[in-house]
């Protein structure tokens, strides 16, 4: 009895399926490729599609393995899913499963832990076709590189948040021989972090520590979470013609930029969000949360003044190691610079669109020189504007005790001063130091 009811239901279900199924099902859309970008706090999966996705999804978190299921309606699969996601700690496997209707594709993402997915489409642009972006929050890679994690930061040191521009889906500018800005600036950012962490009064926090994209509004938020005292974003310029070259340093303007290069850069920042895949710009919600809060906040003005002062120090140091495009700080309205509570600036290390500078930017020696110039400029700023209760406030304008391995030139470099200035301040006639000797460090 029981059995026949089941059979009857089954037959009924089969009949209705047959009645609903189209005679010749063919997919209008197709998945052309899939990319996986793991980062310290999420894994992003990007599906490239021939046209805008028609999709739905659900999670199966009550069973093992944990699964996110995405149905692409009326969509074929034109790419292999082998070996995707192997680099992510969060993601175990991406595979297909029986689709819910003919001509559709069901993608199953198996996860190692529960994650509330954020899924949003992105329209086609000059670099990518239509995309469906799946963000899966959760630790996906170990933080790598020389910078510390938030829990390792010491509150007696000045914390510098270093933001390597672009990343992941967004390559940034591309040089004439194909170098990516995102790769070059990450190398400079890591070199800068190493120099900062070697300084007894400073420590670095890398906003981006690998090849993945971080939304522009999230970058100042991450600096705020790390309680950073300073924010520096590292970029390499590009222009539509190959001639311009040289570095420049940018601070926030509350108005639009008034130079052609400034307006060009503001445009590329917006393009970066479209390439990198920012949910906020697509939904158009709270695109400028920091700015809204900031316009009423007088502290923004002092942060901008601090940024100008630091920019001048950095320009002074950069001029010694590279050609400068501009010798005065430039102002533009960049989302990444909108932290109300700390000096924030953006360093354009050179024009990657200029063949000579593309070659330089790829050289390790030049990357190190640029990183050292930025480090020295930031250090000078904090020596001149010490923060209460920090190591630099206690040590920078007073005494230094000579340790094994020190030389006058090393000490001078560390404090952003010169050998002759230290000799003058301490009435030294020779450069020979002894361990334990006290030196007065001149303020600049």
Q: Is it true that the peptide bond before 65 is cis, omega within 30 degrees of 0? A: yes
Per CB under 5 A, which of residues 21..50 are in contact with Zn ion?
A: none
| Number of Cβ atoms within 10 Å of the Cβ of 429 | 6
* Distance in Å, CB of 207 to Zn ion, minimum: 14
For residues 124 and 365, give the distance between their C-alpha atoms in angstroms, rounded to a whole number.
Answer: 38
- Comparing CB distances to Zn ion, the nearer of 180 and 415 is 180
Q: How many residues bind Zn ion (CB under 5 A)?
A: 3
Question: Interface with Zn ion by CB under 5 A: which range of 150-158, 223-231, 233-241, 370-378?
Answer: 233-241
Q: Which is nearer to Zn ion, 123 or 267 (CB)?
A: 267
Considering beta carbons, is residue 347 or 439 the nearer one to Zn ion? 347
Q: Which is nearer to Zn ion, 31 or 371 (by Cβ)?
A: 371
Nearer to Zn ion, 172 or 247 (CB): 172
**Cβ atoms within 10 Å of 68's Cβ, excluding its own:** 24
Q: Based on CB atoms, which residue is closest to Zn ion, 334 or 400?
A: 334
Nearest distance from C-beta of residue 165 to Zn ion, angstroms: 4
Q: Does the CA dihedral 167-152-198-327 come out positive or negative? A: positive
Residues within window 140-179 making contact with Zn ion, judged by CB under 5 A:
165, 172
> Smallest gap, in angstroms, from Cβ of residue 306 to Zn ion?
23
d(CA 274, CA 292): 22
CB of 206 to Zn ion, least distance (A): 16
**Considering beta carbons, is residue 227 or 270 the nearer one to Zn ion?**
270
For Zn ion, the binding residue among 131, 182, 187, 235 (CB under 5 A) is 235
Of 232-240, 246-254, 351-359, 380-388: span binding Zn ion (CB under 5 A): 232-240
Instruction: Tell the smallest beta-carbon distance from residue 263 to Zn ion (Å).
Output: 15
Question: What sign has the CA pseudo-torsion 419, 424, 427, 430?
Answer: positive
Binding of residue 106 to Zn ion (CB under 5 A): no
The least CB distance from residue 170 to Zn ion, in Å, is: 9
Of 114-122, 227-235, 336-344, 402-410: span binding Zn ion (CB under 5 A): 227-235
Please calculate the CA angle 371-375-379 and round it to the nearest 5 degrees.
175
Contact residues toward Zn ion (CB under 5 A) are 165, 172, 235
């Amino acid at each position: 009895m029981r059995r026949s009811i089941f059979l009857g239901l089954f037959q009924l279900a089969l009949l209705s399926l047959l009645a609903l199924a189209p005679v010749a099902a063919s997919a209008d859309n197709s998945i052309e490729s899939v990319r996986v970008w793991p980062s310290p706090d999420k894994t992003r999966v990007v599906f490239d599609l021939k046209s805008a996705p028609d999709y739905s999804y659900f999670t199966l978190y009550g069973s093992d393995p944990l699964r996110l299921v995405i149905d692409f309606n009326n969509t074929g699969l034109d790419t292999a899913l082998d070996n995707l996601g192997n680099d992510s700690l969060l993601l175990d496997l991406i595979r297909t499963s029986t689709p819910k209707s003919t001509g559709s594709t069901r993608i199953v993402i198996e996860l190692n832990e529960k994650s509330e997915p954020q899924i949003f489409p992105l329209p086609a642009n000059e670099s990518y076709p239509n995309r469906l972006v799946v963000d899966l929050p959760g630790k996906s890679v170990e933080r790598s590189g020389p910078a510390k994690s938030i829990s390792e930061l010491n509150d007696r040191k000045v914390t510098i948040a270093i933001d390597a521009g672009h990343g992941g889906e967004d390559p940034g500018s591309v040089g004439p021989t194909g170098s990516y800005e995102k790769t070059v600036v990450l190398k400079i950012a890591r070199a800068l972090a190493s120099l900062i962490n070697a300084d007894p009064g400073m420590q670095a926090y890398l906003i981006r520590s690998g090849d993945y994209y971080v939304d522009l509004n999230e970058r100042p938020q991450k600096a705020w979470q790390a309680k950073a005292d300073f924010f520096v974003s590292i970029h390499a310029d590009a222009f539509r013609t190959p001639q311009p070259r040289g570095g420049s340093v940018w601070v926030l303007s509350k108005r639009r930029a008034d130079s052609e290069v400034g307006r060009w850069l503001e445009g590329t920042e917006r393009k970066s969000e479209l390439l990198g895949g920012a949910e906020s710009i697509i939904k158009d919600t709270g695109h400028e949360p920091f700015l809204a809060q900031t316009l009423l906040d007088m502290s923004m003005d002092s942060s901008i003044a601090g940024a100008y002062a630091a920019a001048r120090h950095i320009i002074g140091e950069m001029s010694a190691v590279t050609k400068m495009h501009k010798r005065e700080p430039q102002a533009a309205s960049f989302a990444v610079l909108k932290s109300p509570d700390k000096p924030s600036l953006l360093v354009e290390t050179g024009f990657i669109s200029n063949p000579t500078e593309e070659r330089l930017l790829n050289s390790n020696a030049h990357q190190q020189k640029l990183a050292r110039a930025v480090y020295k400029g930031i250090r000078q700023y904090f020596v001149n504007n010490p923060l209460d209760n920090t190591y630099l406030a206690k040590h920078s304008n007073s005494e230094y005790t000579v340790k094994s391995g020190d030389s006058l030139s090393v000490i001078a470099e560390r404090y952003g001063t010169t050998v002759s200035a230290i000799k003058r301040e301490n009435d030294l006639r020779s450069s020979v130091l002894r361990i334990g000797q006290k030196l007065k460090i001149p303020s600049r």
